[in-house]
Amino acid sequence: MVDSEVSRLKFNREVQTLGEQRTTMESRGIFLLDSTRYPFVELAFVPRHLLQVIVPAVQTGAIILPQGAIMAAEIPSVAARAFKARFDLTGYDLQAPSLEFRDFWTDNRLEYATMFRALEYEKDRKAHLVLLDDHPITHKPFLCVRGIREYHEHPQHSGDDWLLYRQQMNLFSIVMSLWRVTIDLVHPQMFYQPNGLQVNWAAEEKL
């Protein structure tokens, strides 16, 4: 256990660092909220990628398109919705920050079925989901990324302890990781299908 006063001092240090990085964060659509109070840090994440609608292409004018071709168009008035990331720094930094996703307007915990998707891109593994639906301990949606308590406490990551990383990671670097996998790399797409519409979340292939 970490003494509560020590934990509070470390909390204040992390919040101060976030404040010093305010310009960097806000340029990426991340806003530190006034509701931040020990032990919780609350940030709003505002996506900027527009919804891309993908539909079957049709022949226009003298342009001959191959059979099965598709066309994509971005819809300027529609983007993925904002969300709130609530970090719990209880026991920090002996424990990694815990993360919960909440509705920006109601503060209700987000349910996986109605959430965005988070993807990570790696050269060997390509794009893969890192927002999963059911943590074996909390039974809540969780971000499966290093630096998040739910990742390190997952039975499958028992050999990848937070203490291996806490010297080189802080809350700001974790916030940037969250931004990368939920906003920077991710593009929402809607496909027209004969039996209805399908929503897909595509990861940009960049390292």
pTM of the model: 0.87
The three-state (H, E, C) secondary structure of 65-112, written as one string: CCCCCEEEEEEEEEECCCEEEEEECCCCCCCCCEEEEEECCCCCECCH
Strands 30-32 and 131-132: unpaired
The rounded distance, in Å, linking the Cα atoms of 35 and 13 is 17
Give the per-residue pLDDT at 195: 79
- Count other Cβ atoms within 10 Å, centred on residue 203: 20
| Cα–Cα distance for residue pair 5/8, rounded to 1 Å | 5
Domain around 31 = 4-203
Helix 171-179 and helix 4-20, axial crossing angle in degrees, nearest 10:
50
Q: Which residues contact 103 (CB under 8 A, 6 or more apart)?
A: 83, 84, 109, 110
Question: Percent of the chain having pLDDT more than 70?
Answer: 90
Long-range contacts of 158-164 (CB under 8 A, 24+ apart): 162/95, 162/96, 163/94
> Is the pLDDT score of 65 beyond 60?
no
Q: Which pLDDT band, with edges at 50, 70 and 90, does 53 fall under? A: confident
Taking a C-beta distance cutoff of 8 angstroms, is the pair 151, 169 a contact? Answer: no
Q: What is the mean pLDDT of the chain?
A: 89
Residue 12 banded pLDDT, cuts 50, 70, 90 = very high
Element (H, E) at 177: helix 171-179
- Determine the pLDDT at residue 70: 65
Res. 114: pLDDT tops 80: yes
**130 pLDDT above the threshold of 70:** yes
Q: Give me the pLDDT at residue 69, please.
A: 63
Q: What is the average pLDDT across 81-88?
A: 96
State the residue for tokens 């987000």.
110
Residue 200: pLDDT above 90? no
> Which pLDDT band holds residue 64 (cuts at 50, 70, 90)?
low
Tell me what the mean pLDDT of segment 103-111 comes to: 95
Residue 142 reports pLDDT greater than 60: yes
pLDDT at res. 15: 98
Q: How many domains does the chain have?
A: 1
Distance CA 162, CA 67 (A): 52
pLDDT, one tens digit per residue, over 150-164 is: 999 999 999 999 999
Average pLDDT over residues 185-194: 84
**pLDDT tens digits along 18-50:** 999 999 999 999 999 999 999 999 999 999 888
Q: In the predicted model, what is the mean pLDDT of residues 125-148?
A: 94
Q: What is the DSSP letter of 22?
A: H
